[in-house]
Amino acid sequence: MSDRELTAAVAVLRAGGLVAFPTETVYGLGADASNTAAVRRIFEVKGRPASHPVIVHLADAVQLANWARDIPESARKLARKYWPGPLTLILERARGVSDAVTGGQDTVALRVPSHPVAQQLLARFGGGIAAPSANRHGRVSATTAEHVRREFGAAVDCVLDGGAAEVGIESTIVDLSGGKATLLRPGSIAGEEIERALGMPLAAPARDAPRAPGTLAAHYAPETPLTLVEGDLLAELAATLTRQGKKVAALALTEARPLFPAVTWLAAPSDAAGYARALYANLRALDAVGCDAILVERPPQDAAWVAINDRLSRAAAGSFLPDAP
């Protein structure tokens, strides 16, 4: 990242504009977190309801006290262990943190990203950068600068290109407010790891309190209906739909595709880290084919795949296989 690009991006933030930037998880759509009008613009551009809070990104944990109060020892512990990195902590908000950032809640989401470009941008800017994932509300997150440009065009003032995101799926979110520790969103840092670091079990989120849209059903979704299919049924279902005249795209865990040339077939990496890294680019590629259905082979169900299965089931929520003619 050139010095000139960084200087320009910081100037955009200071002027209340929007800067898309890479993080190790996914690209973020950033604004000065202390500028309410700038934060509101993020919501407009994303088409996101104002009640949904955004994460404030910080250069380092030293800045925690500017944004949170009554910081528990558990937060210090996790910050020491995982920051900079793909972990977001929910804490009681400090006085003065805008309702636009917190969605009017008494808590605030904080994260110190590790991507070098995010680090440089935050260090130069000096303050907090409010940033949700750089995608239209409910849609697939962006893992490259090109995804961001295609998603928003000129609506974003500046896009910093830091290459393809390394992790590929959004950060693990742990809520440490109210004296409890709750896993709000699984991510590449597994819940079990957090439990070991804290020395206590994590609570499951209350069913009636879906405070994080990324934890709602029907999120991370391509435009094309997406269906999860058991591996041994994938080729057969793709063949059946094709015979019915449907255009089918498949995300499989094997190169062994059915003998139907009409089916678009993508073989995903078979390890969880590789699968996650490629997931959103794969979904975008399959969406771009303009099919009637995206069939995704259901990945393994073990611990390493929890966050991936979480995203896939939300991407599939509300989708149904197209009817036979």
Among 35, 74, 102, 133, indicate the residue that binds Mg ion (CB under 5 A): 133
Distance CA 82, CA 198 (A): 12
Structure tokens at 174: 């742990």
Q: Which does 105 bind (CB under 5 to 8 A by kind): Mg ion, ligand TXA, none?
A: ligand TXA
Using CB under 5 A as the binding criterion, the count of chain residues that bind Mg ion stands at 2
- Name which of 112 and 316 has its Cβ closer to ligand TXA: 112
- Is the separation of the CB atoms in 247 and 262 below 8 Å? yes
For 289, phi then psi, to 5°, come to -65, -25
- Name which of 131 and 248 has its Cβ closer to ligand TXA: 131
- Name which of 90 and 238 has its Cβ closer to Mg ion: 90
User: In this structure, what DSSP letter does residue 22 have?
Assistant: -
- Is the separation of the CB atoms in 131 and 39 below 8 Å? no
Q: b or e along 165-194 (b: 16 or more beta carbons within 10 Å of the residue's beta carbon)?
A: bbbbbbbbbbbbbeeebbbbbbbbbbbeeb
Chain positions contacting ligand TXA, by CB under 6 A:
23, 25-26, 28, 52-55, 88, 90, 102, 105, 107-109, 111, 113, 131-133, 170-171, 173, 184, 211-215
Q: Which does 55 bind (CB under 5 to 8 A by kind): Mg ion, ligand TXA, none?
A: ligand TXA
Nearest to 105 by CA among 30, 54, 38: 54
Nearest to 205 by CA among 185, 179, 177: 185
Q: How far is CA 282 from each of CA 8, 30, 234, 308, rounded to the nearest angstrom?
A: 32, 24, 17, 13
- What x-and-dash track marks residues 206-245 binding Mg ion by CB under 5 A? --------x-------------------------------
172 near Mg ion (CB under 5 A):
no
* Amino acid found at 321: L
Which residues on adjacent β-strands are paired with residue 222? none
Q: Which range binds Mg ion by CB under 5 A, 37-45, 133-141, 146-154, 222-230? A: 133-141
Residue 218: which residues within 8 A CB-CB, separation 6 or more? 138, 314, 317, 318
Q: Which range binds Mg ion by CB under 5 A, 11-19, 114-122, 131-139, 224-232? A: 131-139
Interacting residues with Mg ion between 72 and 101 (CB under 5 A): none
Distance CA 68, CA 177 (A): 10
Q: Which does 115 bind (CB under 5 to 8 A by kind): Mg ion, ligand TXA, none?
A: none
Distance CA 253, CA 248 (A): 16
- Name which of 114 and 242 has its Cβ closer to ligand TXA: 114
Distance CA 108, CA 92 (A): 6
- Name which of 90 and 316 has its Cβ closer to ligand TXA: 90
Minimal distance, residue 171 CB to Mg ion, in Å: 10
Minimal distance, residue 216 CB to ligand TXA, in Å: 8
- Name which of 66 and 105 has its Cβ closer to ligand TXA: 105
- Name which of 40 and 52 has its Cβ closer to ligand TXA: 52
- Name which of 154 and 206 has its Cβ closer to ligand TXA: 206
Minimal distance, residue 133 CB to Mg ion, in Å: 3
Q: Which does 252 bind (CB under 5 to 8 A by kind): Mg ion, ligand TXA, none?
A: none
Q: Report the residue closest to Mg ion, judged by CB.
A: 133
